[in-house]
Amino acid sequence: ETADRPWQLLPEGKGDTGTALALLGGSVAALGLWKWLGRKRIQRKMEEARRTREEGMKKMAKAVQQFREQVPSAQRDAILSLPLLELSGRLQEGSLSPRTVLYTYLEKALEVTQQTNCLRHFIPECEEQLREIERRTEKGLLYGIPVSIKDHIGHKGHLATCGLMQCLDTVMEEDSVLVKVLKKQGAIPFAMTNVPQSLFSYECSNPIFGQTLNPLNPQRSPGGSSGGEGALIAGGGSILGMGSDMGGSIRLPSSFCGLCGLKPTAERLSLSGVTGPVNGILAVPCALGPMARDVDSLALCMKALLCQEMFQLDPSVPPIPFNEEVYSSSAPLRVGYYDTDGYFPLPPCMRRAVKETRSALQAAGHQVSTTTPCPDPQGVPSLTPRNIVDPGLKAQVNSCKMPRLVKKLLALLLKPLVSACPSGQEQGLPGVTQVTAAPCHVPKEPRAFPVPPPG
């Protein structure tokens, strides 16, 4: 009987109030302790990540010092001043060694990150990759070129944090497809760069690794989310970097730091092995792309990446190589432009930028004409007068506002009629996200389907 009515164990009379207060106080203390332990656990994780980064920087500095002692005559400033095409040519012909170039950029990257906090981690495996390409007889298009990569582009044995504490346990088990292709083409990934928390920001700061500054003006931001790449390349610590872009994350840092950046068409470069803070975002896909000092560097990088190795490792990438004929052609182009979509007027600074671009294209001999974007008869007109949320979701939103007890009773009553109600209720946000993200993943190996016999 006592087991059925546990409240009978509580003392009666005046002691009831004291017992209740004691239980309440104990619960509050336990909750406070639990939260304090959680904060301490988070703090330990962040401190461990920072300590690992500092140890990597020390290894980086030690490796540079050893190289300087062995090769004191290396012409650092001359190497750093070379544009990518010229540097690549000298590496291909052998007048410069990959070892000299790598350690020159390692040294410069250390200097830049001390000023801007742009590096998230040094990649010590770059020395192994250096030895590997020195043994090869065939040189790739990026032979000996040091390359920096954004935080969430997977490299075996390293974190992909997205600036989030919850990702501090995410150690990549293998290289992303992009890193594999870079290595195949002879490039040497040597550093991972800082990003804003969750990547969804035009700034570059996170609570784990801190704020990244603009090397052109430390009072300004390098932009985001590829802000670490922008700061490192603009400061001279990298000659080629790989970023990602969904809503401007390559284009804005390139603009803020005086660089060139390219956001290719979505899925032009493989996203396999790239970590994202949120799964299932299909409407606005992410795209990987290069960042460098000039346009020719971007073209060389895309030419190297759009190869059979990329197409074989990820069947979801369209097997379309870089079109050198189109890129090198001097024939005038027909360019259409507009400075308004008919709904949202641009500010004066953006209108001026469009007009300056139009004038530059005309001066270069291209045919430029005004155009209008394809009108959407339903999109904006139906969105603004009604609701930002699809009207079909109103019933679902209202059902979420019901008390939990009412929802359980309704699920029980409707179960014989709609068997999916209880299971749908149990899925929750993680389940829905998993279902939404499922179409994004394509098997690495093509599947074999049985062929019916003839006749």
**DSSP letters of 393-453?**
GHHHHHHHTS-HHHHHHHHHHHTTT-THHHHHHHHHHHHHHHHHHGGG---SSPPP-PPPP
CB 310 within 8 A of CB 273: no
| Mean pLDDT on 315-331 | 94
| Mean pLDDT on 156-175 | 94
Domains of the chain: 42-347 (3.90.1300.10)
* Token output for 90: 């000298």
Q: Does residue 107 register a pLDDT over 90?
A: yes
In terms of DSSP bridges, do strands 287-292 and 205-206 run parallel, antiparallel, or are they unpaired? Answer: unpaired
Options 176, 205, 249, 272, the catalytic residue: 249
Residue 392's pLDDT is 61
Place of tokens 């799964």: 279
**Residue 102 to residue 105: CA distance in whole angstroms:** 5
Q: Whole-prediction pTM value?
A: 0.81
Options 88, 108, 148, 150, the catalytic residue: 150
Residue 379's pLDDT is 63
| Mean pLDDT on 35-60 | 93
Q: Does residue 145 register a pLDDT over 80?
A: yes
Choose the weakest-confidence range: 139-143, 240-244, 286-290, 384-388.
384-388
| Mean pLDDT on 303-325 | 96
225 annotated active-site: yes
CA 126 to chain centre: 21
* Confidence grade of residue 424 (pLDDT, cut at 50, 70, 90): very low
* Confidence grade of residue 448 (pLDDT, cut at 50, 70, 90): very low
| Mean pLDDT on 189-213 | 97
Residue 22's pLDDT is 80
| Mean pLDDT on 352-359 | 94
Residue 36's pLDDT is 87
> Of residues 453 and 299, which shows the higher confidence score?
299
* Confidence grade of residue 173 (pLDDT, cut at 50, 70, 90): very high
- ∠ CA 211-127-57, nearest 5°, is 30
| Mean pLDDT on 176-184 | 98
> Of residues 182 and 29, which shows the higher confidence score?
182
User: For residue 50, what are the contacts with CB-CB under 8 A and spacing of at least 6?
Assistant: 208, 209
**Residue 442 to residue 453: CA distance in whole angstroms:** 28
Residue 323's pLDDT is 95
Q: Does residue 438 register a pLDDT over 90?
A: no
Residue 375's pLDDT is 67
| Mean pLDDT on 325-351 | 89
Other C-beta atoms closer than 10 Å to the C-beta of 176 total: 26
**Which DSSP string do the residues of 172-228 spell out, in sequence order?**
-SS--HHHHHHHHTT-EEEEEE---TTS--SS-EETTTEE--BTTBTTS---SSSHH
Closest CA to 327 of 356, 354, 297, 286: 297
Q: Does residue 391 register a pLDDT over 80?
A: no
Proportion of the chain above pLDDT 70, given as a percent: 83
DSSP state of 268: S
* Confidence grade of residue 393 (pLDDT, cut at 50, 70, 90): low
Alpha helices of 329-374 — where are they, by DSSP H? 348-363
Residue 344's pLDDT is 79
Options 88, 225, 272, 297, the catalytic residue: 225
> Of residues 216 and 446, which shows the higher confidence score?
216
Distance of CA 71 to CAs 68, 75, 142, 171, Å? Answer: 5, 10, 24, 35
